[in-house]
Chain A
Amino acid sequence: MPLKLDETDRAIVNALQGGFPLVDRPYAAAAAELGLSEEELIERLKRLLEIGAATRFGPMYNAERLGGAVMLAALAVPPERFDEVAEIVNAYPEVAHNYKRTHRYNMWFVLAAETKERIEEVAREIEKRTGLDVLRAPKLREFYIGFKVPV
């Protein structure tokens, strides 16, 4: 069941999906914009994280700029083999997340490793162990991404 947030919580979630200031006393600065006290903002952020309304608060790093490689990949898994294949795929530490989706390509996962070579190696291993072809969908270009999910 969805969590119920009050007006202030919603304002915080909407305002702080990005743009947290890198200044002295940043919570005080962000709180002022929201008409809150520093203490209240900190307490509410703690609570939003505790109840799971947010999964993280902090800097979002760009994986590729840290020298890593990432690739979106997919498998078309026969329904009767889905759990077995999910287990094989998820066992790789290089698999960061994995979603079941409504399509013949029903398993979509992100591979992340130190090098592109390692990503290809994992993709080939998954193909060998599952007998299924991995659809490789690396990002070629990104069209502006703000952060903007209103709640």
Chain B
Amino acid sequence: MSLKVDDRDRAIIAATQAGLPLVPDPWAEIARQTGMSRQEVLDRLRSMSERGVIRRVGLVPNHYKLGWMANGMSVWDIPDDMVDELGRKVGDLPFVTHCYLRPRSLPEWPYNLFAMVHGRTRAEVEGKVGRIAMILSPHFRAFDVLYSTRILKKAGLRISPDVARIPHGSKV
């Protein structure tokens, strides 16, 4: 199964960058915009979804506006030979929205496991980080929580001229 997208997929991606048309038959609307048949649009969207090109289809909530004002990036130093097992456990927690293995940059940056936690308040985030700590204990050697205090820029991801902008909400 190819992970590649072709020009016709790209046309659909371009047509849905701003989102799905909010009309009863959105596929027909995309078909009209791209000059494809309605069935081809639906088949290609399904195929991209099966291949993981589309991660999910849905709503991207605005955490801040919904009162989830605290956003904590918890970072952990986990021994390399345990990070897969422990990373999966942390990623499975219902309140962890992103969980990644990233390289350390010693000596400045000793952390290799990143787990993003949202909460209404910092206290709520701290409580959740405490639960992560319980799972990672006694294996983590150090941790920290970096709270976001200001959005400096929030734009789409520019991937290629053909797919001019991948909207925020896309996984990176």
Within 8 A of B (CB), among A105-133: 105, 107-110, 112-114, 133
What residues make up the interface of A, taking CB atoms closer than 8 Å to B?
A: 2-3, 5, 12-13, 16-20, 22, 24-28, 38, 42, 45-46, 48-49, 51-68, 70, 72, 76, 86, 89-90, 93-103, 105, 107-110, 112-114, 133, 135-145, 147-149, 151
A18 touches B56 (CB 8 A): yes
Interface size on B, residues (CB 8 A): 82
**Which of A20, A24, A102, A105 gathers most chain B CB within 10 Å?**
A102
Closest residue to B43 on the A side, CB-wise? A22
**Residues on the B chain within 8 Å of A51, using CB:** 65
B152 touches A98 (CB 8 A): yes
The A/B interface has a contact count, at CB < 8 Å, of 280
CB distance from B154 to the nearest CB of A (A): 5
Extra pairs beyond A27-B26, A58-B19, A68-B160 (7, CB < 8 Å): A42-B22, A53-B66, A66-B5, A67-B160, A149-B97, A151-B67, A151-B68
Q: 5 pairs across A/B with beta carbons < 8 Å?
A: A24-B27, A53-B62, A56-B18, A66-B159, A112-B159
Any chain A CB within 8 A of the CB of B23?
yes
Cα A72 to Cα B88 with chains together (Å)? 20
With A61-B170, A147-B56 as known contacts, state yes or no: A137 contacts B103, CB within 8 Å.
yes
B45 touches A143 (CB 8 A): no
**Which of A17, A57, A70, A108 gathers most chain B CB within 10 Å?**
A57
**Residues on the A chain within 8 Å of B156, using CB:** 96
What residues make up the interface of B, taking CB atoms closer than 8 Å to A?
A: 3-5, 13, 16, 18-20, 22-27, 42, 45-46, 48-49, 51-63, 65-69, 73, 84, 87-88, 90-92, 94-95, 97-103, 105, 108-109, 114, 118, 144, 146-160, 163, 166-172
**Residues on the A chain within 8 Å of B159, using CB:** 63, 66-68, 112-114
B58 touches A66 (CB 8 A): no
B57 touches A149 (CB 8 A): no
B97 touches A102 (CB 8 A): no
With A65-B52, A100-B148 as known contacts, state yes or no: A139 contacts B102, CB within 8 Å.
yes
A60 touches B170 (CB 8 A): yes
B157 touches A112 (CB 8 A): yes
With A28-B24, A144-B88 as known contacts, state yes or no: A60 contacts B55, CB within 8 Å.
yes
Closest residue to B21 on the A side, CB-wise? A58
A62 touches B52 (CB 8 A): yes
